[in-house]
Chain A
Amino acid sequence: MSVNDIQEEIIEEFSQFDDWMDKYNLLIDLGKNLPAIDPKHKTRDYLIEGCQSKVWLYPDYDGVNVNFTADSDAIITKGIIALLLRVLSGRAPKEIISSDLYFIDRIGLRQNLSPTRSNGLLAMVRQIKLYAIAIDAKR
């Protein structure tokens, strides 16, 4: 599935909720089920520090695709990470670089990726693209 196919799928999933608490309950579940990052990668080198919550992001390039694992100390942040990775992880660097993330806005979570809400998520999206650019340049 393309980046946009998955974005549409997520928008569809969230469209069934009118109540914010239901959306958050889903994010909390997604956060709880996010595959764990290898503890050896949960270090300063892979830390993206927001002033509200912390995010760790580790890229693993298998020669074709970049697979990301990530974690956060806040569970809602972790839920949003799960969505971001569902869209962007396991893709070729060029696909990641050219992706345009619109689903966050459409499911009403834009404030979570605003520059004024420093939970580390905006920096994480930038970092995902930077890793992809660096890997692409090395090939």
Chain B
Amino acid sequence: MKSISDIRADFPVLNRTVYNRKLVYLDNGATTQKPQCVIDAVSEVYESYNSNIHRGVHALSDIASEAYEESREKVRAFINAGEKHEIIFTSGATGSINAVAFSFGERYLGPGDEVIISTLEHHANIVPWQMTCERKGASLKVIPVNDDGEIIFSEYLKLISPKTKIVAVTHASNALGSILPVKDIIDAAHEAGIPVLVDGAQAVQHGVVDVSSLGCDFYVFSGHKVYGPTGIGVLYGKEKWLSEMPPYQGGGDMVESVTFEKTTYNSLPFKFEAGTTNFAGAVGMARAFDYLSELGREEIAERERELLSYATEKLSAIPGLKIYGNAPDKISIISFTLSDIHQYDAGMVLDKMGIAVRTGTHCAEPVMDRYGIEGTIRASICFYNTREEIDLLCEGIEKVKLMLGSK
């Protein structure tokens, strides 16, 4: 693997200051910074071959269409999907889940049916299902979690019933970091003939994800959390589902023929890509995948495990600091509270020291409710972070305690 200083030099934002201090960026769970090669790839689209895809008969449209379809192939390879047409470009993980919740719900959900999710879901994997359930007269069933932030598998098995039509779970919790046993969840659902959607927004950037060996029916993630541009995301779906599901948006490029009497839809993946997609974003995201592969995805995972263990050890030693989420298998996220200090105050003070963390409920209010807390401070680490930055976070926390302790 490249040296850490070479890696950090690849990311322009990491080398800036805030409030005249060195930026310590520990909010990678919200979005990751972009390497120069991704920024260049997006610029190149606009500088060299910008043109609408799949429509023009001219040279630039051919180049753009080809770059877009090459990106699709790179996404397929990145998650080891079976077929290229099983990869749909969307606006992000949220867009992907909304697409499945609507289309799958339209086709397969009816009154009395049930959808299983877990307590650890981001709002993006709760609300779209609630909306679908409301429309269809179906209901949500929620897998509980234990004190360490792991789902209780035996309770999940009890929720599976003939009424269950789909299981939608996160691969890793954005609020606590727990990695869910998705393979076991999928196997148990499949035994009952139930499809599974996995929200990979917090997982694909941390290691190798292989949707073929997982066997999931849908897998979704966002480009901007995988070092790619914002506004682009992926919906992987098995052909057998995607071909049966109705489109969720109508428009150009998703049709085969249109008359005012009847429209027939285009084949996969275009059926689910109405209108001009974010093709520059797709190209940028594919470049990010190349970058991660060049670094080595196993090496990235190893480096992040090492940083997580260092940070956990250092933070645990701070009196009054309590870590939420102690599952043995975690992505490099540490969520914590500081005894009597409000997380918003802590975040404000850390910010002025140049330390970027996220505070609050992390769009996962049910997780906060489960532990009876209003929110946490979340440090989300990735491979370009350093032990020195974790030390700076710890120093920052000591300063926060001095300023804000025992109000």
Contact = CB atoms under 8 A, between A and B. Distances in A.
Interface of chain A: mostly helix, strand, loop or mixed: helix
B403 A28 contact: yes
A77 B403 CA distance: 15
Contact of B345 (A20, A51, A76): A76
B55 to A, nearest CB: 36
Nearest to B19: A20
B38 to A, nearest CB: 25
B344 interface: yes
A111 B90 CA distance: 32
B344 A28 contact: no
B342 A32 contact: no
A52 B404 contact: no
A101 interface: no
Contact of A73 (B352, B359, B374): B374
Given A21-B403, A73-B374, A53 B352 contact: no
Interface string A1-33: 000000000000000000011001100100110
Interface string B376-407: 00000000000000000000000100011001
Contacts of A53: 342, 344
Nearest to A119: B344
A76 B351 CA distance: 13
B349 interface: yes
A75 interface: yes
A31 B342 CA distance: 13
Given A28-B403, A28-B404, A77 B344 contact: yes
B348 A76 contact: yes
B360 interface: yes
A90 B374 CA distance: 32
B125 interface: no
A52 B346 CA distance: 11
Nearest to B342: A74
B361 interface: yes
Given A28-B404, A32-B407, A51 B348 contact: no
A55 to B, nearest CB: 11
A73 B407 CA distance: 11
A24 B352 contact: yes
A75 B352 contact: no
Q: Of residues B345, B349, B352, B375, which shows the largest number of chain A Cβ atoms within 10 Å of its Cβ?
A: B345
Contacts of A75: 342, 345, 404, 407
A32 B352 CA distance: 21
B24 to A, nearest CB: 15
A119 B374 CA distance: 13
A105 B177 CA distance: 37
A136 to B, nearest CB: 33
Contact of A76 (B19, B344, B361, B374): B344
Q: Of residues B19, B344, B360, which shows the largest number of chain A Cβ atoms within 10 Å of its Cβ?
A: B344
A74 B375 CA distance: 12
B348 A24 contact: yes
B360 A52 contact: yes
Contacts of A76: 344-345, 348-349
A39 B37 CA distance: 57
B404 A73 contact: no
Nearest to A72: B342
The 3 lowest CB-CB distance pairs between A and B, nearest first, are A20-B352, A74-B342, A74-B344
Interface of B: 19, 342, 344-345, 347-349, 352, 359-361, 374-375, 399, 403-404, 407
8 contacts: A20-B19, A21-B399, A28-B407, A52-B344, A52-B359, A53-B344, A75-B407, A119-B344
Interface of A: 20-21, 24-25, 28, 31-32, 51-53, 73-77, 119
Given A21-B352, A24-B403, A73-B374, 4 more contacts: A24-B348, A24-B352, A51-B361, A74-B345
